């Protein structure tokens, strides 16, 4: 039999809203995948870790895989939203990002925790977020 047709765009968008790791590609994505999702209960929403990075940032390249592993291990209780500040400077400016990497935790539609620079090694809290959420 022929393969099934691809899902309509609305269905593809709905799927991206439930993935544990997402790339924010627009201000609308940020609103939908981060702010609104953090104010919605799991599995559709829940706490969102924002990874604000740039491709040229060495410490960012070391931190992102650690955040991805942590979110994967959390089994859907938290989402990672990656924001390339070079592609979305308006988001970086709105969040007052002054250095990279910057990581923020959104919960209930608000920033509840954050850190800048590489975290302390070897601890769950070393990702800068409330370990109880993770």
State the catalytic residues. Answer: 57, 60
Residue 68 and residue 116: Cα distance in Å, rounded?
17
Strands (E) across the chain are located at: 21-24, 48-53, 79-84, 102-107, 110-116
Residue 12 · residue 5 · CB < 8 Å: no
Q: How far is CA 71 from the centre of its chain?
A: 9
CB-based burial label for 45 (10 Å; 0-12, 13-18, 19+): buried
């Amino acid at each position: 039999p022929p393969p099934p047709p691809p899902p309509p765009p609305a269905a593809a968008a709905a799927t991206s809203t439930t993935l544990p790791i997402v790339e924010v590609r627009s201000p609308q994505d940020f609103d939908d995948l981060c702010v609104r999702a953090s104010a919605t209960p799991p599995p559709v929403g829940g706490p969102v870790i924002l990874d604000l990075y740039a491709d040229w940032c060495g410490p960012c390249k070391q931190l992102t895989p650690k955040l991805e592993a942590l979110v994967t291990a959390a089994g859907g209780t938290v989402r990672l939203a990656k924001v390339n500040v070079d592609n979305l400077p308006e988001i970086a400016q709105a969040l007052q990002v002054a250095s990279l990497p910057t990581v923020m935790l959104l919960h209930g539609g608000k920033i509840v925790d954050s850190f800048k620079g590489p975290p302390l090694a070897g601890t769950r809290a070393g990702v800068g977020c409330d370990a109880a959420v993770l």
